[in-house]
Structure formats: structure tokens, C-alpha cells
A and B are shown apart, each in its own frame.
Chain A
Amino acid sequence: EAQVTQNPRYLITVTGKKLTVTCSQNMNHEYMSWYRQDPGLGLRQIYYSMNVEVTDKGDVPEGYKVSRKEKRNFPLILESPSPNQTSLYFCASSFTGARDRPSPLHFGNGTRLTVT
């Protein structure tokens, strides 16, 4: 089954304790992205990757890191989480990120992160 898999689904942590949220897709998609969802704000892009070893900042990148060493994986790293990073996080992928080839995004089921 074609899917985007995120782990864990729920995570409670304390301020400053490094964490990683994993994301994997099995559709051979070139493009991957991370979003956070907050009430009343919709989804905001954190980082994106056009292909392996190519990553770039989205609208709200502060406090986050990503890497794209393999095509299928795109982990989100919080080096020193803070309470304002408490949110619902979604990983998404699409066939391509090319400007002239609009591809629908496929989303994972989300990771609900609470930082105390």
C-alpha cells in the first residue's frame, strides 16, 4: 500500500531533550516536506526537500533540522525542544516538486508532540 509513515504517533517530552520524528514514504517520491498544524493557523511548512541531499527552509524553520540522505526518509529533528513547539506535525510527499508539474501531496497520519 502506498503510504507515508510517521513515527511516533504521540510523543511527550521535556524542554531541551533532543528528539527525532521519523518519516518514510514507499512511493519513490522526489519531494518531501514537513508541516505543523496549529488551531486557527492551518498547516505551515517547516522544511522541504526537492530530492536526496537537497533541503530548504519553509515558513517556520526555527528550532528544527532535517536531513535527506535517502530518497524514502526525511526525519525531523528538534535539537532542543521548547513548549512553543507543541503541535501536530505532518510529513508529506509528492512525485515531484517541479514548478510546472503540480503534484498532490500525500500526508502521513501525524505526530502529536507535547513539550513540557
Chain B
Amino acid sequence: AQSVAQPEDQVNVAEGNPLTVKCTYSVSGNPYLFWYVQYPNRGLQFLLKYITGDNLVKGSYGFEAEFNKSQTSFHLKKPSALVSDSALYFCAVRDTMEYGNKLVFGAGTILRVKS
């Protein structure tokens, strides 16, 4: 069965500094990997996904993520954080061997960007 770990409950960063939100995963087969963001009182919004190919994936709002197969990681990054990036971030994995579009989510990481 697949699983996702987000080791940090919260990440604090100053505006303008680079940010990283960590994610590691476990699957039986090959992974499809996703990042979602959740703002207060809203549903989750899709940021980016890794399916295959280039290990560096670019997504919405200037975010990118790097897939590392040997470390089973898919960390979310942004070169320069904005206060408006403050939100709850979820990493999710789907096992290519699994039936249906079932995503398994991590517990989430709160990102706080201070001005």
C-alpha cells in the first residue's frame, strides 16, 4: 500500500527567501506524485504533478518540485516566497499499480511566510 510522509508540521520562511516543503513516499509500483495547496475555508487546489520524464516539475504560482527516485522524495520548492503563499500544503501519491484514481495524502504542512 502507498503512503506519504510530510515530516514538518510547519515551515516558516521570510518573504523573498527560498522555501522547501518536504515529502517522501512509499509505493509498490511506480508513483504518480502531486502537490496541492489549501487556503482557509477552501478546497484543495492542484499545484503540480510528476508522471514521468524530467525530474524537475514546474507548476502554478512559481512552484516547482523535484522527484528523486533513489530517496523516494518529491520536495516542493519556490525560489522566492510570498506572504500570499502562506497556506496548508499536501503531498499526494498514486500507485500506478492501483485501480482507480486514488490519491493517498500526507498529513499536510503549514507554510507561514512572514514579511
Contacts and interface: CB of A to CB of B under 8 A. Distances in A.
B43 A110 contact: yes
Interface stretch (A12-20, A43-51, A62-70, A71-79): A43-51
Contacts of B46: 104-106
Contact of A94 (B36, B101, B105, B108): B101
Interface stretch (B10-18, B66-74, B92-100): B92-100
A104 B34 contact: yes
B56 interface: no
A110 to B, nearest CB: 6
B49 A102 contact: yes
Interface residues of A, number: 31
B101 A31 contact: yes
B103 interface: yes
Given A43-B103, A102-B101, A107-B44, 20 more contacts: A31-B100, A33-B102, A42-B107, A43-B44, A44-B105, A45-B103, A92-B44, A94-B101, A96-B101, A97-B100, A102-B49, A102-B51, A103-B101, A104-B34, A104-B46, A105-B44, A107-B45, A109-B41, A110-B41, A110-B43
Interface of B: 4, 32, 34, 36, 41-46, 49, 51, 90, 94, 96-108
